[in-house]
Structure 1
Amino acid sequence: MPRFEFAFESTWVTPLKLMGITPERAFVLVDAGELRVRFGPWRLRTPVSNVSGALVTGPYTPWKVIGPHLSLADRGVTFGTSTRRGVCVLFHRPVPALVPGRLLTHPGATLTVSDSEGLVEALRQSQST
């Protein structure tokens, strides 16, 4: 089961910890045809078949990426711990992540994992099986 840790920049460790986001509680799993993200108290879960694309992106500005964010431009969600780089995952059908239920759904998610290329490859391989 591929597990991808978030890349925590030392500058942001304390503010993120105050939101309940720690290295132990922030990771991405790709297994059994499913993408699962835990980001402190937040969760995102969807079948890999719902992923329409994934690409490495970055760098980012801190106020747009650190912590959980909602893009007002496209309703995308960001789970960010680093300004350097991450993976933008796009979905066929928007998924919930920031609030429970389907009241607010997101067409994409940016995840600042340590192994960005590895996550993109794991999603690609999981879709082809």
Structure 2
Amino acid sequence: MAEERQIFTFRFTRAYRFAALPFGVTPKSARVIVTDAVIDIRFGPWRLATNLNNVAEVEEVTGPYAFLKTAGPAHLSLADRGVTFATNSEGGVCIRFRSPVPAIDPLRLVRHPAATVTVEHPRSLAARLV
């Protein structure tokens, strides 16, 4: 039996597209892939992958976000160590994990208890994860 695989693309606004480009984040390099077993977030050179059973909670729509705090590369929240992969300021999905996961640093030392993604269809992604 074939594993079900869904791809969720990021929704880029013009300003975010220009801010992300120098960091290698483009519509072709940013996506969320969900299979029966894992969630794999790719955002230019950044990647977060974990088992679906590590997803503890999903907030369907969060935002709006401040452009200066979210545009360009992946962002680390100093408040809670969450990671944000944003391509628009309107809204996204916040995914909380049972066990924190690496994503933002190449040595994988920083672990994130949550990730926010601004995909094209946030409600569909949220429904797929719960």
User: Which of 85, 95, 106 is equivalent to 1:89?
Assistant: 95
- Please name the residue that 1:61 is paired with: 66
Instruction: Give a deviation string over 1:89-120, Cα, whole Å, max 9, x none.
Output: 00000000001344110000010111000000
Number of equivalenced pairs: 124
Q: Does 1:109 align with 2:115?
A: yes
Task: Note the residue ranges of structure 1 that are not aligned, 5 or more in a row.
Answer: 125-129
Counterpart Cα distance in 2 of 1:93 and 1:100:
19
Task: Note the residue ranges of structure 2 that are not aligned, 5 or more in a row.
Answer: none
Instruction: Give a deviation string over 1:33-58, Cα, whole Å, max 9, x none.
Output: 10000000000000000000111211
Given that 2:33 and 2:41 are in contact with CA atoms closer than 8 Å, whether structure 1 keeps it comes out as yes
Root mean square deviation, CA, Å: 1.0
Q: TM-score of the superposition, structure 2-length normalised?
A: 0.91
Instruction: Give a deviation string over 1:45-99, Cα, whole Å, max 9, x none.
Output: 0000000011121111112222310000000000111000100000000000001
Counterpart Cα distance in 2 of 1:38 and 1:96:
13
- Please name the residue that 1:44 is paired with: 48
Q: Does 1:23 align with 2:13?
A: no
Residue identity (%): 46
Q: Which has the higher helix share?
A: 1
Range 49-58 or range 94-103, more displaced: 94-103
Q: TM-score of the superposition, structure 1-length normalised?
A: 0.92
Runs of 4+ residues over 2 Å off in structure 1: none
